[in-house]
Amino acid sequence: MKILVCISNVPDTTTKVRFTNDNTQLDTNGIQWVINPWDELALTRALQLKEDKNNSVESVTVIHVGGKESEPTIRKALAIGADDAIRVNAEPTDAYFVASQLAEVIQQHDFDIIFAGIESSDYNGAAVGGMLSEMLGMPSISAVSSFELENDQVRIIREIDGGKETMTSQLPLVVVAQKGIAIEPRIANMRGIMMARKKPLNVVEPAEKDSMVDFVDFELPQAKPPCKMVDPENVQELVDLLQNEAKVI
């Protein structure tokens, strides 16, 4: 069984975002780039599955659409244990473009399980995994918070509004992962970092694909008025404010 994990390269979650060129572009100065948190959890789970000898997972591959500057992030995925990596050498313009590029490459391989994080922490589109599954004509299960393999059968828990469903599926399958699929993302150790340098990172040139949306410009949220402080000895005042000023209770 072969597993593929789609990874996105995003600013570290503590980044203070700024924009340049009339607010049309992200100011990348000083940004630390990391594996998208949900993709990192999915990758962690894929590696656990491979290490569990009860399963017959042959390999865990990661794939990414991005320029050469994203290679440190891909190497990090290799350092924590992925066997090999594919980089589609294109600037990601929107989710549809990224999913199209991924589909193009995936069609030339035979992966049984494809993981994607439920969203990326940059553009929060929650789109690539779903689009990809449709382009590949594969089933997909979204909001997956638990993933088990038993005799090459999948046992999945997905979160629904107000509960959980236990599921099975035919393979190949696209698994759209959320929090819970793994608890803590894996951290690379020195041996992993050394080994990652020798692991294959295959660069493929992009297919001709269009995007369907343009990011016109960005804006920062309006500054909040300063917090009104209430004396801890007088919580009655807070109740008054919530009832008469905010009118939320």
Residue among 68, 91, 160, 191 that touches another protein (CB under 8 A): 160
Burial (CB < 10 A; 0-12, 13-18, 19+), residue 13, is exposed
Residue among 21, 53, 183, 205 that touches another protein (CB under 8 A): 183
DSSP 20: E
Contacts of 215 (CB under 8 A, 6+ apart): 24, 94, 123
Residues 22-61 that bind another protein (CB under 8 A): 37-38
Bridge partners of residue 204, in order along the sequence = 88
The sign of the dihedral angle between the CA atoms of 146, 148, 152, 153 is negative
Q: What tokens appear for 166 in the block?
A: 């236990």
Bridge partners of residue 113, in order along the sequence = 3, 173
Which helix (H) or strand (E) segment is 135 a member of?
helix 128-136
Residues 4-23 that bind another protein (CB under 8 A): 11, 13-17, 19
Q: Is 151 in the site for another protein (CB under 8 A)?
A: no
Residue among 187, 203, 207, 242 that touches another protein (CB under 8 A): 242
Neighbouring C-beta atoms of residue 236, cutoff 10 Å: 10
Distance between CA atoms of residues 105 and 2, nearest Å:
15
Residue 157: what are its φ and ψ, rounded to 5°?
-110, 125
Residue among 104, 112, 148, 159 that touches another protein (CB under 8 A): 159
Among 115, 127, 109, 144, smallest CA distance to 44 is for 115
Q: Is 236 in the site for another protein (CB under 8 A)?
A: yes
Q: Which is nearer to another protein, 86 or 175 (CB)?
A: 175
Q: Which is nearer to another protein, 108 or 221 (CB)?
A: 221
Q: Is 187 in the site for another protein (CB under 8 A)?
A: no
Q: Is 143 in the site for another protein (CB under 8 A)?
A: yes
Q: Is 246 in the site for another protein (CB under 8 A)?
A: yes
Q: Is 139 in the site for another protein (CB under 8 A)?
A: yes
Residue among 121, 188, 199, 209 that touches another protein (CB under 8 A): 121
Residue showing tokens 């608890």: 183
Residue among 49, 86, 131, 182 that touches another protein (CB under 8 A): 131
Q: Which is nearer to another protein, 207 or 213 (CB)?
A: 213
Listed ranges 45-53, 76-84, 85-93, 139-147: which one lies at the site for another protein (CB under 8 A): 139-147
Q: Which is nearer to another protein, 58 or 215 (CB)?
A: 215
Q: Using N-to-C axis directions, what is the helix angle for 95-106 and 128-136, rounded to 10°?
A: 40
Q: Is 213 in the site for another protein (CB under 8 A)?
A: yes
Q: Is 235 in the site for another protein (CB under 8 A)?
A: yes
CA angle 173, 131, 112 (to 5 degrees): 20
Closest CB 249 distance from another protein, rounded Å: 7
